[in-house]
């Protein structure tokens, strides 16, 4: 799946569907029409999440279908700011998550986010029946 509403590269697929699962490649805080969403972690986190959701929507899913998120931070000291933007984006029932350090240094890039969503077979989208443990 692909969309012009998120960054793209010939080196990776924006997203791949495998059965009821949608896998979104790592997205950064780059807005496709204007460039970097900002120099701060909050702005880049929100944009990276928005980029991921644009790809999910291209695959027929929504935020409610997200079951797992992996966040890679360039600077561990940005953890608190990332958490603020992340919590505002997902609200009180966020998906499962892992956070690690981004292994490569990319100029001005503070975050990369990838995610997995689950679409109910034959019923569209969503985490119906999937609850936090």
**Does 81 map to a domain?**
yes
pTM surpassing 0.95?
no
**Does 130 map to a domain?**
no
Distance in angstroms (rounded) separating the CA atoms of residues 111 and 96: 18
Which of 72, 53, 73, 71 has the alpha carbon at shortest distance from 117?
Answer: 53
- 60-101 pLDDT, tens digit per residue, is 999 999 999 999 999 999 999 999 999 999 999 999 999 999
- Do residues 57 and 85 touch, judged by C-beta distance below 8 A? no
**Does 53 map to a domain?**
yes
**Does 107 map to a domain?**
yes
Query: Which band of pLDDT confidence, cut at 50, 70 and 90, is reported for residue 119?
Result: confident
Element spanning 101, H or E:
strand 96-101
**Does 26 map to a domain?**
yes
Which residues make Cβ contacts (< 8 Å) with residue 130, sequence separation at least 6?
A: 67, 118
Total structural domains within the chain? 1
- Do residues 69 and 43 touch, judged by C-beta distance below 8 A? no
Q: Provide the residue range defining the domain that includes 20.
A: 15-118
**Does 132 map to a domain?**
no
CATH number at residue 100: 3.30.1330.40
């Amino acid at each position: 799946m692909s969309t012009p509403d998120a960054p793209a590269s010939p080196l990776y697929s924006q997203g791949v569907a495998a059965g009821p699962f949608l896998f979104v490649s790592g997205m950064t805080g780059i807005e496709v029409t204007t460039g970097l969403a900002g120099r701060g972690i909050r702005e880049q986190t929100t944009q990276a999440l928005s980029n991921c959701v644009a790809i999910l929507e291209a695959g027929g899913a929504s935020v409610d279908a997200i079951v797992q998120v992996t966040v890679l931070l360039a600077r561990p000291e940005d953890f608190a700011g990332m958490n603020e933007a992340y919590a505002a984006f997902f609200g009180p029932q966020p998906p499962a998550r892992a956070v690690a350090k981004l292994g490569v240094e990319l100029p001005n890039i503070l975050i990369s986010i990838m995610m997995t969503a689950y679409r109910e077979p034959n019923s569209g989208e969503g985490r119906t029946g999937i609850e936090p443990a």
